[in-house]
Structure 1
Amino acid sequence: MNLYKRYILPLFFGRRFYWSFVTVILLFVLSYNWPLLFPVARVCLWFVIALVVLDYSLLFLRREGLLIQRIVSDRFSNGDINKVKLLITNKFHFRVRIKVIDEIPVQFQQRDFSVDAELDTDESKNIAYDLRPVERGEYIFNDTNVFVKSPLQLVVRRIKNEGEQKVKVLPSYLPLRQFELMAYSNNLAEAGSRKIRKIGHSLEFEQIKEYVTGDDIRSINWKATARRGGQLMVNNYTDERSQQIYCIIDKGRVMKMPFEGMTLLDYAINATLILSRVALIKQDRAGLVTFAENIGHFLPADRKASQMGHILETLYNQQTKFLESDYEKLYAHLRTRISQRSLIVLFTNFESLSGLQRQLPYIRHIARNHLVLVVFFENTELRQLTDDPASDIETLYTKTIAEKFVYEKRLIVKELQQHGIFTILTAPEHLTINTVNKYLELKARQAI
């Protein structure tokens, strides 16, 4: 919340002012032919001038006419709807009509924002609006301009609240709370995550509890059952903990492709944030690696309380590069920095089979020491082209080419799976859910 300084700027005139003077001028013009109208025109002129002076006095003699506050968080969530509120209080002794123009950060390119309202004396009004940023960085809110009219509506006073508010647009953190609650309650299915049937059970002991229908009878603890006088007791096991989960984000040119205003890199960053939080809640250790033509940031896997803050700050300033990513450097870096077998979630994009084959040897080398999950993106626009019927020869050619690229994406999936590498091919809007699903599935299978 920020309360700005108030400044009085030069006055403006309303439409009623101009129509009044147009009427007076017409009376003076007509008085050339009808002299009897001249005294009427003079009286009207002085009457309008008197009203203008009165209106000016009403609006400008009171310094504290309006109190304006902009209520906005110091950080926004990228790709999500963020709320902004303007609280306006009328300190005039009469009802006013206002027009509010808030100077929104230039990144939104929203040049037509204005709100009209009416306020009684001492009345406060909340004016709320939504903003959806699509790129990370620093955004600046500038002045809030309020144009005030009295009941006469001849003169307009502008009250300009000068001041800047800086807002950091961070990776999408608003869904974090939702996923946190669901992960704590093991109810991630409500967010779209599937329940995975476990094959076998973990050896990570959790507690001894009373037997209920559906429990594995092989887990009955006979000693505890004897102590409870015949009440069946079973050992309860939980998923193994303290496993290392590394999210590796490709920042090369393949991740610069846009989708609904955001780049693929932004979607990968948002999914990384959610996956890291879910992994920490599941008592695993979350780490982060970014790379392009060179290795960017390396954050060792950990599960300390401050780990999410480190991940968020690291992801805040990540930008795509225009060169091709160097997977050989990535492999060398992971080999020297990550000694324990880990789940490697690689966020990248392959548009052609030849593009994969250039990098496949290095991905296979990484897969020898770690469990690798390659996540890349489906081109939804191509899918739409393949679904539309062909109406002419040109459309038929376009549809054929689109089907070729879609088929090549499926070949990429098969090629990776043939080498024992787990793969997710997903639309950008489903990236987070599909990635969390796969992590829970691999954890349930004890594959890590």
Structure 2
Amino acid sequence: MRLSPTPRAAALLALVACSALVLPAALAVLAALALLAAIVYDARSVPDPGLRRDVSQVLSRGVRQPLTITAEAPGPALQVRQPAPGGLAVEPAEGDGGLDAELLPIARGRHTLPGFGSRVEGSLGLAARYPEPGGGTEVDVYPDLPNARRLALAVRRGRLGDPGLRALGPLGLGTEFESIREYSPDDDIRRVNWRATARMGRPMSNEFRLDQDRDVLCLIDAGRLMAAPLGDRSRLDASLDAVTAVALVADELSDRCGGLVFDSRIRRKLEPRRGGGRGLIRALHTEQPSGEDSDYELAFRSLGATKRALVLVFSDLIDATAARSLIAAVPMLARRHAVAVVTPLDPDIDLAAHRAPRAATDAYRMVAALDVLEARAGAAARLRSAGAVVVEAPPSALAGAAVRAYVRAKLRARL
């Protein structure tokens, strides 16, 4: 703990020193001693505020969480400041009498939130106490967990909205008959059991159970292209948001979930297992893009002779050379597995391609953007011809699009 005089004490000491020019020396010395005694008394009487910090140690990138620093003896003389490392932001960072702030995780991974600083003045305002800052707190910043949980809940309740895909119902349109129940307004018309409806005198629906215990593999490209920004996130951030949603839905549907992270080498591999989605999320949240080109053929061959699975490849089609490499490697995967290539769209490129130019530079930008979109559309068409489903969506919608592709594959018995 550190103690120091306040600006008020310094001003009074300066005033006493100046008064020595006009007051008798003995009186000036007495005044100085009295002031020093008051400073010492005030310093010794400064209370320990008893500060405590409350913050979650499990965070999601871009999702604000409360951070509070409370005192057993709050008061206006107490000031608190919370510093933050580069991957986190605290708003506001300072407060009087305590701190009621929001912690904004900016970057995925593991971060150390430093101890907070505090300053408390004595009742006379002559001395201040600086309690020792508390130790740092390790926090883990994951991809977008709240959105992933919402999607998993929507699948469980059969409320996964999708143009062209009606509500699934609590169990879905699988291939295994489960039971007959009363018709719900959200039911697909194909569920209606007309014989049971005629017999019961009210609409009745068939209930089918989604096939379970299937393998779902997420192959995550962590090469140099995935470091490119997409608004407030990188391409890898957007992909891992989608992987997180797919992993939680796989656990919800009792499928076996696994994953593989690659660039020019295999960086991490998790074999598919029941309930493996949460383990996959924990394992991947610290992954960052490298500066290396990605070897798709190596990644696909590393799957080995696993049984038929839904393989979701999370990559980007923005680079023509990389897209050609991906297109060349997909057939070896599609011969054995159901393959979906999940790739984020860049809203800035789409905007540049469709916004009316106001200057020559805007026209050049439009032409370049149109070329990129044309090349991307061609790559997507060739991937479809090679046997893959291509899932494209803006970063904020990519998780939902990936989950819908996964559920469609189950409904169509592609696994």
Structure 1-normalised TM-score?
A: 0.79
Q: 1: CA distance between counterparts of 2:327 and 2:78?
A: 63
* Letter of the 2:41 counterpart: S
Once residues 52 and 157 of structure 1 are traced to their aligned partners in structure 2, the CA distance between those partners, rounded to angstroms, is 16
Q: CA deviation at 1:351?
A: 1.5
Whole-angstrom distance in 1 between the partners of 2:73 and 2:307 = 65
Report whether the alignment pairs 1:67 with 2:50: yes
Q: Distance in 2 between matches of 1:444 and 1:416?
A: 22
DSSP 3-state at the match of 2:332: helix
Residue matched to 1:116:
96
Distance (Å, rounded) in 2 between the aligned partners of 1:217 and 1:433:
24
Judge which range, 70-79 or 361-370, deviates more: 70-79
Q: Is residue 277 from structure 1 mapped to residue 243 from structure 2 by the alignment?
A: no
- Residue in 1 aligned with 2:220? 249
Cα 1:408/1:49, change in 2 over 3 Å: farther
| 14, 17, 20: which one aligns with 2:9 | 17
1:147 aligns with 2:119: yes
1:194-231 Cα shifts (integer Å, max 9, x gaps): 57149995431111335678765874567x998x8x88
- In structure 1, the partner of 2:270 is 299
**Does the 8 A contact of 1:52 with 1:154 survive in 2?**
no
Q: Where does residue 85 of structure 2 map in the other structure? A: 105
Pick closer, same or farther for the CA change 1:420–1:375 going to 2, 3 Å: same
2:397 to 416, 430, 439: 430
Q: CA deviation at 1:261?
A: 4.6
Q: Paired residue for 1:53?
A: 37
Partner of 2:331: 364
Pick from 333, 343, 366 the counterpart of residue 399 of structure 1.
366
Match among 292, 295, 298 for residue 329 of structure 1: 298
Could you give the per-residue CA deviations for residues 401-432 of structure 1, whole angstroms, max 9, x where no partner exists? Answer: 23322332222222323334211222222221
Give the 3-state SS of the residue equivalent to 1:135 in structure 2: coil
The answer to whether the aligner puts 1:163 opposite 2:135 as a matched pair is yes
Larger Rg: 1
SS across alignment from 2:100: strand
Q: Distance in 1 between matches of 2:350 and 2:184?
A: 48
Q: After TM superposition, give the deviation of residue 268 of structure 1 in Å.
A: 1.4
Deviation at 1:374? Answer: 0.8
Counterpart Cα distance in 2 of 1:103 and 1:232: 62
1:293 deviates by 1.2
Q: In the alignment, is the contact (CA less than 8 A) between 1:245 and 1:343 conserved in 2? A: yes
Partner of 2:289: 320
Distance 2:109 2:96 in 1: 31
- 1:9 is displaced (CA, Å) by 0.9
In 2, distance between residues paired with 1:263 and 1:217? 42
Contact map agreement 2:149 2:248 (CA 8 A) in 1: no
Aligned match of 2:261:
290
The answer to whether residue 411 in structure 2 is matched with residue 444 in structure 1 is yes
Residues 383/216 of structure 1: CA separation in 2 closer, same or farther (3 Å cut): closer
CA distance, structure 1, for counterparts of residue 297 and residue 133 of structure 2: 55
How far residue 111 of structure 1 moved from its aligned partner, in angstroms, is 11
195 and 20 in structure 1: CA distance in 2 versus 1, 3 angstrom threshold: farther
Task: Tell me the equivalent position of 2:177.
Answer: 205
Distance 1:401 1:359 in 2: 23
Give the Cα–Cα distance (whole angstroms) in 2 for the partners of residues 217 and 172 of structure 1. 34
Q: Distance in 2 between matches of 1:385 and 1:48?
A: 72
Unaligned runs of 5+ in 2: none
CA distance in 1, matches of 2:234, 2:33: 58
- Is the Cα–Cα contact under 8 Å of residues 247 and 278 in structure 2 kept in the other structure? no
**3-state SS in 2 of match to 1:132:** strand
Amino acid at match of 2:4: L
Q: 1:160, CA displacement in angstroms?
A: 2.1
Shift of 1:247: 1.2
Amino acid at match of 2:218: C
Question: Normalised by the size of structure 2, how large is the TM-score?
Answer: 0.84
**Percent identity at matched positions?**
20
Whether contact under 8 Å (2:54, 2:69) holds in the other structure is yes
How many residue pairs were aligned? Answer: 410
Instruction: Give the structure 1 partner of residue 165 of structure 2.
Output: 196
